[in-house]
């Protein structure tokens, strides 16, 4: 089993006719993902990917014709608000936004819209979601993960890849890996993902990859203490980050001790979470 996506997922790609959209759509389809449609305003009626995938002007039309139930957004930042809003308005169950650099005010508006919607938004600035052997939606390399029983949730794309590759090297498989995105304002956070993994009968353990900045990891530690029954292993990036320097993701903002790697590590350990010193230590802890 898996969370969010599986072999039954019918994916549409918003921005499929762009350079990045076409490139990553080809990789997703080669992996086995069932891409049923693309959406690019004014490009409706065209066909892409060997003339097998139809392009529509709107998400609503694409869903009505193809019964798509998930969307990956691969559009420039200036078009991202409209793309996300359109998908929410069409009541698509799952949106995975790869786009980075979306203005914070745009995301604040999206967060308000999501409060009255049943749509799940992953991202923005997300590497995507992968259920190994079944489906990948986004830009996570398909070859670095194998099917298994460990759920992975991460704020960092690159660290996600490193951890998945290290796990594969020790023949440790993944149920689903979710990159929630590294921006300050995102749709779905750690607690939502931990809850899904807790309820998934085929996920036995969870790996959480966090980093400096924000309070998501602190809130996750509290949630693990009170709500989780499955073991959680964590890695927090940024322990040696120099003070007074901006670095990493837009969400990597530290105020005093709050948001620091040391603070998050301490809270996770108090919650009974094993914390890896380096990403490559995670397989041994699992």
Read off the tokens for 215.
């309070």
pLDDT at 1: 61
The DSSP bridge partners found for residue 95 are: 71, 121
Spatial CA neighbour of 215 closest among 206, 203, 223 = 223
Task: Examine residue 211 and state whether it is found in any structural domain, yes or no.
Answer: yes
Domain identity same for 117 and 147: no
Higher per-residue confidence, 274 vs 214: 274
Domain identity same for 145 and 278: yes
How far, in Å, CA of 173 to CA of 265, rounded? 25
Number of domains in the chain: 2
Place of tokens 């869903």: 63
Domain boundary among 91, 122, 153: 122
pLDDT at 2: 85
Q: Which residues are catalytic?
A: 249
Confidence of residue 251 (pLDDT cuts 50, 70, 90): low
Domain identity same for 16 and 114: yes
Domain identity same for 236 and 173: yes
Task: Examine residue 132 and state whether it is found in any structural domain, yes or no.
Answer: no
Domain identity same for 149 and 281: yes
For the stretch 139-190, pLDDT in tens is 999 999 999 999 999 999 999 999 999 999 999 999 999 999 989 899 999 9
Task: Examine residue 276 and state whether it is found in any structural domain, yes or no.
Answer: yes
pLDDT at 214: 85
The whole-chain average pLDDT of the chain stands at: 94
pLDDT at 239: 78
The CATH number of the domain holding residue 106 is 3.40.50.720
Task: Examine residue 131 and state whether it is found in any structural domain, yes or no.
Answer: no
pLDDT at 162: 97
pLDDT at 247: 54
The CATH number of the domain holding residue 179 is 3.40.50.261
How many other C-beta atoms can be found within 10 angstroms of the C-beta atom of residue 7?
12
Domain boundary among 122, 155, 184: 122
For the stretch 93-127, pLDDT in tens is 999 999 999 999 999 999 999 999 999 999 999 99
Give the domain range for residue 271. Answer: 141-285
Place of tokens 């924000």: 214
pTM over 0.85? The answer is yes
Task: Examine residue 128 and state whether it is found in any structural domain, yes or no.
Answer: no
Task: Examine residue 3 and state whether it is found in any structural domain, yes or no.
Answer: no
Domain identity same for 76 and 114: yes
Domain identity same for 118 and 147: no
How far, in Å, CA of 28 to CA of 138, rounded? 7
Domain identity same for 50 and 169: no
How many other C-beta atoms can be found within 10 angstroms of the C-beta atom of residue 4?
22
Domain identity same for 151 and 281: yes
pLDDT at 241: 63
Task: Examine residue 114 and state whether it is found in any structural domain, yes or no.
Answer: yes
Q: What is the mean pLDDT of residues 53-74?
A: 98
Domain identity same for 194 and 276: yes
Phi/psi region, residue 280 (left: phi>0; alpha: psi -120 to 50; beta: rest), is: alpha
The order of strands in the sheet holding 53-56 is 47-48, 53-56, 35-39, 11-14, 70-73, 94-97, 120-122
Report the percent of the chain where pLDDT is more than 70. 93
pLDDT at residue 243 tops 70 = no
pLDDT at residue 252 tops 80 = no
Confidence of residue 249 (pLDDT cuts 50, 70, 90): low
Domain identity same for 89 and 173: no
């Amino acid at each position: 089993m898996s969370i969010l996506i599986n072999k039954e997922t019918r994916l549409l790609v918003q921005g499929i006719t762009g350079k990045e959209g076409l490139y990553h759509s080809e990789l997703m389809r080669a992996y086995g993902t069932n891409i049923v449609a693309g959406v690019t305003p004014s490009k409706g009626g065209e066909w892409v990917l060997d003339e097998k995938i139809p392009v529509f002007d709107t998400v609503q039309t694409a869903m009505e014709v193809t019964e798509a139930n998930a969307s990956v957004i691969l559009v420039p930042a200036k078009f991202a608000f409209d793309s996300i809003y359109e998908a929410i308005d069409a009541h698509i169950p799952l949106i995975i936004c790869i786009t980075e650099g979306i203005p914070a005010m745009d995301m604040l508006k999206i967060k308000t819209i999501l409060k009255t919607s049943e749509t799940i938004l992953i991202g923005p600035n997300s590497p995507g979601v992968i259920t190994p052997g079944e489906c990948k939606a986004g830009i996570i390399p398909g070859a670095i993960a194998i099917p298994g029983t460990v759920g992975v949730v991460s704020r960092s794309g690159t660290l996600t890849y490193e951890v998945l590759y290290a796990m594969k090297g020790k023949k440790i498989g993944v149920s689903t890996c979710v990159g929630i995105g590294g921006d300050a304002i995102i749709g779905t956070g750690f607690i939502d993902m931990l809850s899904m993994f807790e309820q998934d009968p085929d996920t036995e353990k969870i790996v959480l990859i966090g980093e400096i900045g924000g309070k998501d990891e602190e809130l996750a530690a509290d949630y693990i203490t009170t709500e989780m029954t499955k073991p959680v292993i964590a890695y927090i990036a940024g322990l040696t980050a120099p003070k007074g320097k901006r670095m990493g993701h837009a969400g990597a903002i530290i105020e005093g001790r709050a948001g620091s790697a040391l603070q998050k590590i301490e809270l996770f350990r108090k919650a009974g979470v094993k914390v890896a010193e380096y990403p490559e230590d995670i397989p041994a802890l699992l």
